[in-house]
Amino acid sequence: MLIASLIALATVGGGTATYLMTQDGGRGTAASAAAFDAGAETSAESHDGAIELAAADPPPVQDDPPKTPTTDDPPSHRDKPTRTSAPSKPAPAPTPAPTPTKADPVESAKPVPDKKDDTGITHIGGVTFIDGAKQAESATGLKSLSFKPTFNTKAFKAEKWWRTAKKHAEKLMPDLVLTDFEVKYVMSNGLANLSYRGAEASYWFRSKSRSKRPKNIPRGVEHEIYCMVYVDVSKSKIQVYAASREKCRGSLRPPRCSLKHVMKKAREIGMPQGAAEVDLLDDGWYVQIDEWSETIPDDC
């Protein structure tokens, strides 16, 4: 019974012999062994002859044919054809350097008004600026006033100066009554220090004779009535100019208490140290420092 078969491939010097071993009880047949021996001798002789021929005269080596370049396999740098230089063109004449000119002064830092007129309206870069004083001059013909203070603006008694402010305002309109009064910054001694940035005292007055609505303007139609005169005091100038309101009414009782008294009362109820903004309202003095604020009665 055939148990296993094994095919052995033996190569000797380029010759090939096949030896089929049939395992039958652990031994191959005599015919198979003889056939294998004969093939092995023939292969050995062929191998010896090939060695002698190679040693005597080796055949010439043939170069591989040049590879034809394809789109998928681009040629190497050795296969690139020699590029023929294009005929040289005469070099263009050199461009003369521009003659340096004197630079114009830079004006971009200063906005250039697109339109400006005497109505107090100015357009700059698409932004409209309205000068209330100039606009009032155009509408009423009342020329604004501007002059320098003649007093110490670092120790200004703002509540006493309201009568002087009224006299300046009456140069523009008659029969005036006080409507608003505010000042910043008031120190603990009651004096305002106008030398700080943004410090100012403002007095607003209303003219009774100019407070009437024009009869040719129906009710419900917006209309500005030039019935007001504003007086603004700062460290460098005093400005007096007309102003408008949609409704001209109301008045404010002139102050009775001094700001020194007001600041003392404010400290007693917890006002912190500092410079205060003070407004005179219908119910008294409104005092504010940062987040702290309180109303002090004007009952002196």
User: pLDDT tens digits for 238-264?
Assistant: 999 999 998 899 999 999 999 999 999
Do 149 and 12 lie in a common domain? Answer: no
> Is residue 90 included in any domain, yes or no?
no
Do 43 and 187 lie in a common domain? Answer: no
Strands (E), 86-218: 115-116, 121-124, 127-130, 145-147, 176-186, 200-207
Do 42 and 141 lie in a common domain? Answer: no
Pairing of strands 4-12, 15-23: antiparallel
Distance between CA 138 and CA 115 in Å, rounded? 16
> Is residue 38 included in any domain, yes or no?
yes
Min mean pLDDT across 192-196, 220-224, 275-279 is at: 220-224
pLDDT at 127: 65
Do 149 and 275 lie in a common domain? Answer: yes
Do 45 and 142 lie in a common domain? Answer: no
Domain termination site, one of 51, 73, 90: 51
> Is residue 59 included in any domain, yes or no?
no
Do 282 and 138 lie in a common domain? Answer: yes
Do 139 and 284 lie in a common domain? Answer: yes
pLDDT at 66: 52
pLDDT at 86: 45
Do 46 and 136 lie in a common domain? Answer: no
Do 141 and 290 lie in a common domain? Answer: yes
pLDDT tens track for 268-283 = 999 999 999 999 999 9
Range of the domain at 243: 131-296
Residue 84 has pLDDT above 50, yes or no: no
Do 23 and 154 lie in a common domain? Answer: no
Distance between CA 96 and CA 150 in Å, rounded? 66
> Is residue 227 included in any domain, yes or no?
yes
Task: Give the pLDDT band of residue 213 (cuts 50, 70, 90).
Answer: confident
Do 154 and 281 lie in a common domain? Answer: yes
Structural domains counted in the chain: 2
| Segment 156-178 mean pLDDT | 97
Single-letter amino acid code for the residue at 58: P
Return the closest-CA partner of residue 19 out of 30, 63, 281, 236: 30
Beta carbons of 246 and 217 less than 8 angstroms apart: no
Return the closest-CA partner of residue 168 out of 237, 249, 239, 256: 239
> Is residue 206 included in any domain, yes or no?
yes
Do 278 and 178 lie in a common domain? Answer: yes
> Is residue 205 included in any domain, yes or no?
yes
> Is residue 194 included in any domain, yes or no?
yes
Strands in 121-124's sheet, in edge-to-edge order, are 115-116, 121-124, 127-130
HSE of 228 in the Cβ direction (CA atoms, 13 Å)?
23
pLDDT at 38: 43
Count of C-beta atoms within a 10 Å radius of residue 288: 16
For residue 189, give the 3-state DSSP assignment. coil
> Is residue 138 included in any domain, yes or no?
yes
- Give the percent of the chain with pLDDT over 90: 48
Check: pTM over 0.75? Answer yes or no.
Answer: no
